[in-house]
């Protein structure tokens, strides 16, 4: 939708202020649009019953508002078969995480030797599970 509006705006001869105003209106309308319910009450109840059963996977389809209901064992066998296909996926011989962590630590050590202070490291209670993001401040 926004690409269509941009296409139309690029073809018109209006001021930049007007274009900005139109963009803000379209953006506000799109953000305020609430999706409506597609399924009836009966369909929602049936879907809830299917979700309660453990031998089905219910996943969203790639396009649209559709759902795909899959048999769990067939789905897991298909996924396992795809992962074991050596032409598509090759297992890693080593774990690269340790190497990356060592490189990052060496970089921080080098910054420290150059006189940079690392500030902004959260304490354990501030760590929200998103990882620690240090802030480097050169002096």
pLDDT tens, position by position, 63-80: 766 788 888 898 899 889
pLDDT at residue 139, rounded to an integer: 45
Closest CA to 138 of 105, 103, 113: 113
User: Domain residues for 113?
Assistant: 96-137
Distance, CA of 74 to CA of 112 (rounded, Å): 54
Q: Is residue 90 included in any domain, yes or no?
A: no
* Statement to judge: residues 27 and 45 lie in one domain: no
pLDDT at residue 42, rounded to an integer: 92
Tell me the whole-structure pTM to 2 decimals: 0.36
Pairing outcome for strands 135-137 and 117-119 = antiparallel
Q: Is residue 91 included in any domain, yes or no?
A: no
pLDDT higher than 60, residue 135: no
Q: Is residue 80 included in any domain, yes or no?
A: yes
Q: Is residue 20 included in any domain, yes or no?
A: yes
Task: Give residues with Cβ within 8 angstroms of 60, minimum separation 6.
Answer: 66, 67, 68
Q: Is residue 107 included in any domain, yes or no?
A: yes
Q: Is residue 26 included in any domain, yes or no?
A: yes
Our count of domains for the chain comes to 3
């Amino acid at each position: 939708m926004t690409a269509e509006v941009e296409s139309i705006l690029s073809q018109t001869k209006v001021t930049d202020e007007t274009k900005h105003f139109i963009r803000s209106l379209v953006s506000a309308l799109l953000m305020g649009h609430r999706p409506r319910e597609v399924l009836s009450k009966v369909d929602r109840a049936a879907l809830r019953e299917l979700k309660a059963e453990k031998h089905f996977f219910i996943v969203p389809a790639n396009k649209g508002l559709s759902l795909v209901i899959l048999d769990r064992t067939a789905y897991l066998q298909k996924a396992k078969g795809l992962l074991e296909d050596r032409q598509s996926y090759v297992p890693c011989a080593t774990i690269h995480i340790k190497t990356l962590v060592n490189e990052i630590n060496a970089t921080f050590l080098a910054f420290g030797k150059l006189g940079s202070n690392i500030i902004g490291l959260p304490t354990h209670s501030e760590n929200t599970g998103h990882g620690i993001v240090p802030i480097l401040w050169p002096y």
